[in-house]
Structure 1
């Protein structure tokens, strides 16, 4: 990420945490305000089980939300492995050909791999590299071109086409996953459930403002930890970036001369 992106990303994270504790202060002030304290004292018989119920709802929703975010990261890693596997299959076919026939295919794979690695910083912005896209198209033209098809058997043609399709499909899904940032409606639901949890904690501690404040701060800390963990993982190509290493490892194979 660029400095501006890192600043915005960090600022939004800090803003969310500050907003959580600001909500604690706002609820505490409203409940203990001289204008409202008299009327709210009538609610001292609220059952503590209310906190458990709402807290359980918040915890379950947060768990499902975090699981959805982390599954995106796992799928992104799977797509990277599939893309590398497809490109490796193309190299295997190229290495089985005479050097003068397989060399253009090996070169096309190497150039695309280099462009794909250089594309990685763009994925944090949800963008792709036009150069990498064009080089993959060039690889496709070489792999499926008539000049190469006439030198291959039916089995080799099928293997080459299958591996090329796998690499193209994996790249498409990898780019699609780089644009996932989490549903704003889900973030809104997390914020609402967190606020309701803090409010319920405050209402069951109306008889002691010190216990009320401490309990709310503890819950706010738990909410902040959950929020931070989910936010930092909301895109697999931002803070904890999935590695392009499986694709980069192909450079060593693509530099080897194809046997004659």
Structure 2
């Protein structure tokens, strides 16, 4: 993994830091512009903007942030659902294989366990937006076993077909996990949100421009609400990274593996 790839795997932390530092810089810039800049006198002439004006821009900012948060949490929920569906498919394969002859049943259990362990071991790579070829190999081995004539003769065509459907479900849900792990922050979306946040700060300052202490209080309160919220959303950009990483525990639990 190249240094560039390594940085891109954690780019959302950099955006989170930028959200905090950028908001602080915007608040300080507004205070400087109103009190110490050469334009301070001209800016004082902007008095008279009605307080309800803030609501228009504030609603636009809030909706933008809400949509971005929904995208992030939706990805987290999809990743969790994918893991539980994989676990359910593994559990179903074991149940369907209970009536197989002992040697074949043991081979199926071993293949299911190997796939579950390989998938769980893939988690650190998913956190780096990569994937493990070992999981692909174990999935192909499991599919090859289920598609074999021995399973068809021992379980029947109907049960074998159901087993193959569960194996395809495993592959599909893993592909979904990989796709979700490789989703990057969209800079344009967050740039738009940052612009709306700055304009909202300006509108708060303009409404109270004749009272510097009120401007400072209002802008700081807005910053305390906006910056941590944006940071919380940003640091959850990859559902397989901390602090709210999806866990592979259901996969191991489905096979009885510790």
TM-score, normalising length: structure 2 = 0.90
How big is the shift at 1:138? 1.0
Determine the structure 2 residue equivalent to 1:244.
248
Determine the structure 2 residue equivalent to 1:198.
201
Which of these residues, 46, 49, 53, is aligned with residue 46 of structure 1? 49
Determine the structure 2 residue equivalent to 1:58.
61
Contact residue 111 and residue 138 of structure 2 kept, 8 A: yes
2:189 aligned with 1:178: no
Matched ranges for 1:85-234 at <5 A: 85-234=88-237
How big is the shift at 1:157? 1.3
User: After superposition, what is the alpha-carbon deviation per residue over 1:48-95, rounded to whole angstroms, capped at 9, x for unaligned?
Assistant: 112121111111221121112111111111111111111111111222
Contact residue 12 and residue 185 of structure 2 kept, 8 A: no
Residues 1:12 and 1:62: Cα distance change in structure 2 (over 3 Å): closer
Unaligned stretches of 5+ in structure 2?
Answer: 1-5
1-structure distance, mates of 2:131, 2:253: 21
Contact residue 91 and residue 255 of structure 2 kept, 8 A: no
- After TM superposition, the structure 1 stretch with the greater mean CA deviation from structure 2, 17-26 or 143-152, is 143-152
How big is the shift at 1:201? 0.9
Unaligned stretches of 5+ in structure 1?
Answer: 256-260
2-structure distance, mates of 1:150, 1:8: 52
2-structure distance, mates of 1:194, 1:225: 13
1-structure distance, mates of 2:16, 2:73: 18
2-structure distance, mates of 1:69, 1:195: 22
2-structure distance, mates of 1:143, 1:7: 39
Q: Give the CA RMSD over aligned residues.
A: 2.1
How big is the shift at 1:121? 1.2
Aligned length: 251
How big is the shift at 1:34? 4.2
- After TM superposition, the structure 1 stretch with the greater mean CA deviation from structure 2, 28-37 or 170-179, is 28-37
Which of these residues, 82, 87, 92, is aligned with residue 85 of structure 2? 82
2-structure distance, mates of 1:62, 1:7: 20
How big is the shift at 1:8? 7.0
Contact residue 58 and residue 194 of structure 1 kept, 8 A: yes
Determine the structure 1 residue equivalent to 2:36.
33
- After TM superposition, the structure 1 stretch with the greater mean CA deviation from structure 2, 55-64 or 33-42, is 33-42
How big is the shift at 1:27? 2.1
Residues 1:36 and 1:80: Cα distance change in structure 2 (over 3 Å): same
Determine the structure 1 residue equivalent to 2:3.
none
Contact residue 31 and residue 216 of structure 2 kept, 8 A: yes
